[in-house]
Chains A and B, each alone.
Chain A
């Protein structure tokens, strides 16, 4: 019997009665790299937060690895948007990655040598081990994003959620991040990424969730990027895309 990584059934979410997303149902199998795309205000981050069980649902169900989110929290890793973080916080790169070991530590236990070693390995994977003693604000945007990816790796999760990981990130960091996400997919992990635009979507992901309050398209990248489906989501906002061969 194979597990379903993420299954969403008729999900509705609103903020004080203002509808954010409606009628979303989909199933993601393990090993997929899924992009969530859609115009501004389409409810992309809302969908992500609902999957993580961070906001109340009006209706519907979300299951991760066939279980309610509550029961599998330790198998989930989340990478926040870069501007949600206080980069002046007095924390070093290594300590930030060490936070990733916290979910598996027993209560009242501090990370020890083993955890430190593991955090350094995760930092090495994203090519940031030389920066372990820096304060996080001293890094460039791309480096910061790589550190947070290292933190997610340190969580040894099965499902990864990333909110806009490519905003304000240099090309080589972007390449490193994509490479690691693809490796995770090959290891049978599931990766869900909120992505701000359509560019490179076909290179990065193998499945897309196209959202505009409701689910406009879901499936392989090729299927979803058909221009008709895109037009329905963006309703002309992306008319210029027509000439770009997507």
Chain B
């Protein structure tokens, strides 16, 4: 109740709420494609890899959005290049490239001598969201959602059966990097809310939870976005009420939803599976 009243009163909280909701939606939507393509680790890598871009943008005084997208996409390309042109496996290539980018980012930020900013970028501080941040998040959100809506067919085919897509003439490489670009944009939009380190949780946890609840991608996307929003709002509540880091409380909320679903999902839940196994065994005695 107190939380609701506070939202009515404080503008900073309204901004925080709006931003968190948008972050919940876009992370949930893009996350579905990320986990279905088996790219959870890639999501983690790209989110870390935006750090040098953000840092250099600060240094040059330009909007950090452009620097972040640039370094994120560049890292995605480097990862693909190394794994396709050597015996290095994909996950190893990811490990090499994103830690390199992350390390470079830390060095640049240390040179800037701004450790508070680093802390906020890494862990998020949704209660300090400025109007400009909010608009960046909302704008990015609209672009990402439009892109997914318009290219849903192409994203579905290449996620499910890439070879079929290539065989009928889809530019599958381009679509991969297009998705990486969307992923980078989502990461940047989430910086203030959950921070670089925990973005990956918002990408994969709600999507994985939705994956346990439905057998249709279109429905999975809506459930995932919904769970993202619920996690964001619940997380914001705990962050505000108990003065905790917002990224951490939001992720914990998402994890709680995942555990509940993992246990009690009607079709894929652990409990239901155990009951079915037991019934079957009992019927054989």
Contacts and interface: CB of A to CB of B under 8 A. Distances in A.
A70 interface: yes
Interface string B149-164: 0101100110111011
A36 to B, nearest CB: 16
Contact of A91 (B152, B160, B163): B160
Contacts of B156: 91, 99
A77 B168 CA distance: 7
Interface stretch (A103-111, A185-193, A198-206, A232-240): A103-111
For chain B, which range describes its interface: under 10, 10 to 19, 20 to 34, or 35 or more residues? 20 to 34
Majority SS at the chain B contact face:
helix
A76 interface: yes
Residue from A89, A108, A110, A135 with most neighbouring chain B CB atoms (10 Å): A89
Interface in B23-42: 36, 38
A78 B167 contact: yes
Interface stretch (A80-88, A120-128, A167-175): A80-88
A242 to B, nearest CB: 37
Contacts of B167: 52, 54, 73, 76-78, 161
A245 B31 CA distance: 56
Nearest to A103: B168
Nearest to B215: A135
Contacts of B163: 54, 78, 80, 84
Nearest to B213: A90
Contact of A99 (B160, B214, B215): B160
B202 to A, nearest CB: 20
B153 A90 contact: no
B93 to A, nearest CB: 16
A155 interface: yes
Contacts of A76: 167-168
Interface in B166-196: 166-169
A99 B217 contact: no
Contacts, number: 67
A116 interface: no
A90 B215 contact: yes
A105 B168 CA distance: 12
Contacts of A90: 36, 211, 214-217, 219-220
A102 interface: yes
Contacts of B220: 90
Interface in B206-226: 211, 214-217, 219-220
A89 B169 contact: no
A231 interface: no
19 contacts: A52-B167, A70-B169, A73-B168, A76-B167, A80-B164, A84-B161, A85-B161, A86-B160, A89-B159, A90-B217, A91-B156, A91-B215, A99-B160, A99-B161, A102-B157, A103-B169, A110-B152, A135-B215, A161-B167
Interface of A: 52, 54, 70, 73-74, 76-78, 80, 84-86, 89-92, 95-96, 99, 102-103, 105, 108, 110, 135, 155, 161
Given A80-B164, A90-B211, 6 more contacts: A80-B161, A85-B160, A91-B160, A92-B216, A103-B168, A103-B169
